[in-house]
A and B are shown apart, each in its own frame.
Chain A
Amino acid sequence: MSEFGNELIRMENIHKSFPGVKALKGVNFSLREGEVHGLVGENGAGKSTLIKILTGAYQKDEGEIYINGKQVEIKNPIQAKKLGIGAVYQDITLAPHLSVGENFFLGKLPKKNNLIDWNRIHKTTSEILKELDIDVNPRTLVKDLTVAQQEMVMIAKTVYENARIIIFDEPTALLANEETEELFRLIRTLKENKIGVIYISHRLEEIFTICDTVTVMKDGAWVNTLPVERINQDELISMMVGRSMEDMYFIKHPERGEKVLEVKNLTKEPRFRDISFDLHRGEILGLFGLVGSGRTDVVRCIFGADPYDSGEIRINGEKVEIRSPLDGIRHGISLLPEDRKKQGLALALTVSVNTNLASYNMISRWGIINLRKEKKRAEKYVSELSIKTPSILQRVRNLSGGNQQKVVISKWLCRDSRIFIFDEPTVGVDVGAKGEIYKLFEKILSEGNSIIIISSYLPEVMGLADRIVVMREGRCTGILNREEFDDEKILRYATVAT
């Protein structure tokens, strides 16, 4: 701990309540210069509440906060910023239609003779980006950057705004494995500059890679704070939920049956080419690869969301033409999209409507809906999947990420599908809900159905799948059976050009 500098943050005995719930119960937290401090806990543990108190979005009810040794009251985000507290969230708050330079100076464009000093903007921005080793041209429009680059720019901007404390909330959710390395390199640079980092993530192995210390929270209370080297992943999880990780991926796999889906030489230039694989009844097929390898494109074509150029799809041995989502659905295929908010849910509508959304024709005659069946189905799945909602008439936008995901799953369970395609089903979902979703996979398999799961999270894919198809830059680079699973081998297939 001696490699850390002065104390940046000390939070003592923080209490915070909302109507009906006590979110923080006497929590302590501290951070020093050059320290990367991980914050873990299930959804609802209080992590984001604690952070929001630091960033000025919420006001604490009780307790003291010391920044740089001085007691402060953080009344609003502007004060937090002045105190040097910056945050980088999952949703990127840059103006997409403006350039990187313009974003940096948003609201305070420097002027020379009453005209905008573009030279200064671009020069300063370039310097900052260079210091942090970020390879981006300040003139590029933000919307033309990759997601990873956008995130880097956000971090650079935060640093530029004199943040001494930077909070990362699920920073790798949208990044590919190699981009995560970039991020970690950046964080190490921040460390060298004596910036204190708070790192929140559900991906525990990241905590072990990048963090020095970790604090565990549970049900609004502080559980423990330890140097990362003094604890292992299982112990960490036990502190968070009281369950071991190994158990989580262990679900019952039924006997493998006949081929339900055959994909032959599926091609869609320039996204992917010559993709071939089979799916058997009762099987979980993992589709692994880096972001951009084409996995989502492939499954969207199988489902009918996008058209493909050439190739063959067979369902139960019969050749089929799938040209629209309705075709895919009629052949028993379901697709849970990667972006559940943008593609999976009608956020303004209720749990009941979203649950029934893909299958109203099953409960209506001549276009007229059987309202009782609509209600019964929604209630059935809310109960079966333990969806936390005050009622089925609650608008889906008010539910937490994990529960929203469960609603999307219910939508497809209503449909008697045989082939379920899950695209990154547990991103942004906390450990507790993840376990529930995996149990759901078990149920789906036991009923004689099959699953294709796309995941960029290797432990998840290796733990769940019977076989893994690895893709790289639009090509299938390897298909492995469970006995052959080896993380290095899989990563090599995913990253190295053959």
Chain B
Amino acid sequence: MEVQFKEKKAYMHSGALKKIFAGEGTLIIILAVLFVVLSIVSSSFLTLNNLSNLVRQTAITGVVSIGMTFVIISGGIDLSVGSVVGFSGIFATILMKSGMDMMLAIVISVVLSSLIGLVNGFLIHDGKVPPFIATMGMMAIVRGAIMLMSGARMIAGLPKAFTNFAQTSILFMPSLFFIWLVIILIAAFITRWTTFGRNVYAVGSNVEAARLSGISIRATLYKTYILSAFTSAVAGILMTSRLGNGIPTGGQSYEMEAIAAAVLGGASLSGAEGTILGTVLGAIIMATLRNGGNLLGVNPFILDISIGALIIIAVLIDQNARGRK
């Protein structure tokens, strides 16, 4: 019995451990090095205040990148996430301002925003529209809808309970980070332990082989894009809480951040590669660089250029290492 249990644990971890030290190990090392260097070079880096801020900033786009990871693994891409973030935020704001109960407003907004994912899934699977085009179109449509709903103006006057949330902590962690953590754990569970998780990888690797193995491509793609929209919707709520007002331009460029985090974390745009842990590390590394850059007074534009270059170099190295196999 004892041996069986150990074996079981070993298996569940050995696969994971091996994987970690293959791909994500490099990322962990990079992150560790960054932390060490920055704490030496800047006295304010390793403070509770700074780290809480870093984590709060990352959490919002971090949540979006979790859903994006699934989409990329499936071999697709979702450019509409930024707009869904904005939509969910504005819609919830409008509902709350009309007097609706806060929690109800949030739930309705998230559910409605997730349906945008359903539309994406339908266009992509049934309409056979390439994901890039379908989600790009939705990005424009949804952003247009946001502008219509909000009159292109900031909406103030949100309930205090709502706007305070972003500043609170749960179990000694900033609430924003806590929510992100919960989503990370659920997503990681899905990728390792569920049939749906396996199906996403299978579809990303070879759609026809997956179909001929009896996997429902429709169900898998619908769920994937709905998941992406869902995480974006949640991020929209968090963002609005942090900003304190309903901002119609909220969420713009979030798709870029999300894609960058996933790709830095090892996801491949041709599908079937990528892990939740990798994406999370990718997001944190980028956020740490920005945070460090700010503390050191580096010109923010130079920072942008550097991060862009970093992403390209990271993928370059990864592709060439892969190509050898």
Q: Which A positions have Cβ atoms within 8 angstroms of B?
A: 303, 305, 325-326, 329, 335, 337, 342-349, 353, 356-358, 360-361, 364, 367-369, 371-372, 375, 393, 395, 397-398, 411
Chain B CB within 10 Å, residue with most, of A337, A357, A398: A357
CA–CA, A346 and B206, complex, Å: 5
A305 with B212: in contact, given A353-B198, A369-B194, A371-B193 (CB under 8 Å)? yes
Given contacts A343-B208, A357-B213, A395-B325, 14 further A-B contacts (CB under 8 A): A325-B211, A325-B214, A326-B216, A343-B209, A344-B212, A349-B202, A357-B198, A358-B214, A358-B215, A361-B195, A364-B194, A367-B195, A368-B195, A372-B11
A360 in contact with B198 (CB, 8 Å): yes
Nearest CB in chain B to that of A335: its residue: B212
Closest CB-CB distance, B125 to chain A, in whole Å? 14
A393 in contact with B11 (CB, 8 Å): no
Residues of chain A with a CB closer than 8 A to B205's CB:
346-349
A346 with B272: in contact, given A305-B212, A368-B193 (CB under 8 Å)? yes
Residues of chain A with a CB closer than 8 A to B271's CB:
348
- 8 A Cβ contacts from B199-222 to A: 199, 201-202, 204-206, 208-216
Residues of chain B with a CB closer than 8 A to A368's CB:
193-195
CA–CA, A345 and B272, complex, Å: 13
Whether B273 is near chain A, meaning CB under 8 Å from some CB there, is: yes
CA–CA, A364 and B202, complex, Å: 17
A393 with B15: in contact, given A342-B208, A346-B205, A369-B198 (CB under 8 Å)? yes
CA–CA, A329 and B206, complex, Å: 19
B212 in contact with A349 (CB, 8 Å): no
Closest CB-CB distance, B119 to chain A, in whole Å? 24
Residues of chain A with a CB closer than 8 A to B196's CB:
367
Residues of chain B with a CB closer than 8 A to A411's CB:
213
Residues of chain A with a CB closer than 8 A to B211's CB:
305, 325
CA–CA, A369 and B191, complex, Å: 11
Closest CB-CB distance, B3 to chain A, in whole Å? 13
Quick one: CB contact mask for B186-197 with A, threshold 8 Å, 1 for yes? 000000111110
Residues of chain A with a CB closer than 8 A to B216's CB:
326
B12 in contact with A371 (CB, 8 Å): yes
- Could you pull out 8 A-B pairs where Cβ atoms are within 8 angstroms? A305-B212, A337-B212, A346-B206, A347-B205, A348-B272, A368-B195, A371-B12, A411-B213
CA–CA, A342 and B272, complex, Å: 15
Looking at the complex, which one of B193, B213, B215 makes contact with A369 (CB distance below 8 Å)?
A: B193
B202 in contact with A346 (CB, 8 Å): yes
Chain A CB within 10 Å, residue with most, of B15, B194, B209, B216: B209
Looking at the complex, which one of A326, A353, A361 makes contact with B201 (CB distance below 8 Å)?
A: A353
B272 in contact with A349 (CB, 8 Å): yes
CA–CA, A87 and B261, complex, Å: 44
Closest CB-CB distance, B192 to chain A, in whole Å? 8
Whether B153 is near chain A, meaning CB under 8 Å from some CB there, is: no
CA–CA, A357 and B193, complex, Å: 14
CA–CA, A395 and B322, complex, Å: 12
Size bracket, chain B contacts: 20 to 34
CA–CA, A361 and B198, complex, Å: 11
CA–CA, A345 and B269, complex, Å: 19
A346 in contact with B209 (CB, 8 Å): yes
CA–CA, A335 and B214, complex, Å: 11
A367 in contact with B194 (CB, 8 Å): yes
Chain B CB within 10 Å, residue with most, of A346, A372, A393: A346
Nearest CB in chain B to that of A412: its residue: B213
B210 in contact with A346 (CB, 8 Å): yes
A364 in contact with B11 (CB, 8 Å): no
CA–CA, A369 and B212, complex, Å: 20
Residues of chain B with a CB closer than 8 A to A358's CB:
213-215
Residues of chain B with a CB closer than 8 A to A305's CB:
211-212
Closest CB-CB distance, A377 to chain B, in whole Å? 13
Closest CB-CB distance, B100 to chain A, in whole Å? 33
Quick one: CB contact mask for B244-287 with A, threshold 8 Å, 1 for yes? 00000000000000000000000000011100000000000000
Looking at the complex, which one of A303, A345, A361 makes contact with B206 (CB distance below 8 Å)?
A: A345
Residues of chain B with a CB closer than 8 A to A375's CB:
11
B212 in contact with A343 (CB, 8 Å): yes
- 8 A Cβ contacts from B77-97 to A: none
A326 in contact with B195 (CB, 8 Å): no
Looking at the complex, which one of B12, B192, B204, B214 makes contact with A326 (CB distance below 8 Å)?
A: B214
CA–CA, A358 and B206, complex, Å: 13
Residues of chain A with a CB closer than 8 A to B194's CB:
364, 367-369
CA–CA, A326 and B205, complex, Å: 19
B202 in contact with A353 (CB, 8 Å): yes
Residues of chain B with a CB closer than 8 A to A342's CB:
206, 208-209
Nearest CB in chain A to that of B272: its residue: A348
CA–CA, A481 and B206, complex, Å: 39
Looking at the complex, which one of A335, A349, A372 makes contact with B8 (CB distance below 8 Å)?
A: A372
B11 in contact with A347 (CB, 8 Å): no
Nearest CB in chain B to that of A392: its residue: B15
Looking at the complex, which one of B195, B198, B214 makes contact with A329 (CB distance below 8 Å)?
A: B214
Closest CB-CB distance, A398 to chain B, in whole Å? 7
- 8 A Cβ contacts from B1-25 to A: 8, 11-12, 15, 18
Residues of chain B with a CB closer than 8 A to A357's CB:
198, 202, 209-210, 213, 215
Nearest CB in chain A to that of B216: its residue: A326
Residues of chain B with a CB closer than 8 A to A349's CB:
201-202, 205, 272
CA–CA, A345 and B213, complex, Å: 9
Residues of chain A with a CB closer than 8 A to B210's CB:
346, 357
A348 in contact with B273 (CB, 8 Å): yes
A360 in contact with B212 (CB, 8 Å): no
Nearest CB in chain A to that of B7: its residue: A372
Nearest CB in chain B to that of A345: its residue: B209
CA–CA, A342 and B208, complex, Å: 7
